[in-house]
Amino acid sequence: MLRYADRRTLVTGGGSGIGQATVLRILSEGGSVVAADVSEAGLADTVTRAGADAERLKTVVMNIADETSVKEGVAAALGFLGGLDALVNAAGILRSSHTEQTTLESFEQVIRINLVGTFLVIREAVPALKEGNGAAVVNFSSTSAGFAHPYMAAYAASKGGVQSMTHALAAEYAKAGIRFTAVQPGSISSGMTDGSGQSRQSTGPGLPDDADMSLFLKLAPALGQGFAGPETVAGVVAMLASEDGAFITGTEIRIDGGTHF
């Protein structure tokens, strides 16, 4: 199914995890994609995994927490694509700690990357999206935005902000023809959650050594299949940013295997 034939997409966090899976999914559906990430190594891995589809893929090293980097990165993406029809904001970090031991620097870093970074990319992309075909933006919130995930106060605050911002943007740009939605991944295995990823501007959750693991007993997928792979989320993102999602805006979709009913 080539839903993305003649469709131009920018994916941040495209060097690993869900961002990378999204890049590969959209390429497989015929799209032209720019994958942006802070990690050159991660982007190189994405190109390798793309195989023959890499002819429709360009990579851009971009730090979404840096305004200049975002301006230059989005401009480079638009130069390659010749316009923009879809934007996927998958880049983010996850840090965990006891709140009373969390430094201001660490708290602000999470907010800066996850929330401010998402804003910066959207701001730079909106003019092109206004001229795009069936323009759509998919932001990354999290189940942490609405459910208690201990030791992750900064992350929860950042993702709650992304979710609220998504609703506001959907209203602001509805008449301009740009749809804004958000996904809420949970119980997904990726570089961010297992600590192995060096891209997507991410580090693992790094729970405190004395974390009370009993607080996580209710965070298991109800479907009984364990954590799902990043391609599980990528499929939903691809739907939302395609014409199949043409009547969906100003809302979020939770993808967590029934971890939170």
Query: Number of helices (H) and strands (E), helices first, in the chain?
Result: 8, 7
Q: What are phi and psi of 133, to 5 degrees?
A: -100, 115
**Where are the strands (E) in the chain, listed by range?**
8-12, 32-37, 57-61, 86-89, 136-140, 179-185, 251-255
- Residue 35's contacts (CB-CB under 8 Å, 6 or more residues apart) are 11, 14, 15, 19, 20, 23, 43, 46, 57, 58, 59, 60
> Which of 4, 151, 155, 173 is the catalytic position?
155
Q: Is 155 a catalytic residue?
A: yes
Angle, helices 17-28 vs 230-240, to 10°: value is: 50
Report, as residue numbers or ranges, the catalytic residues. 155
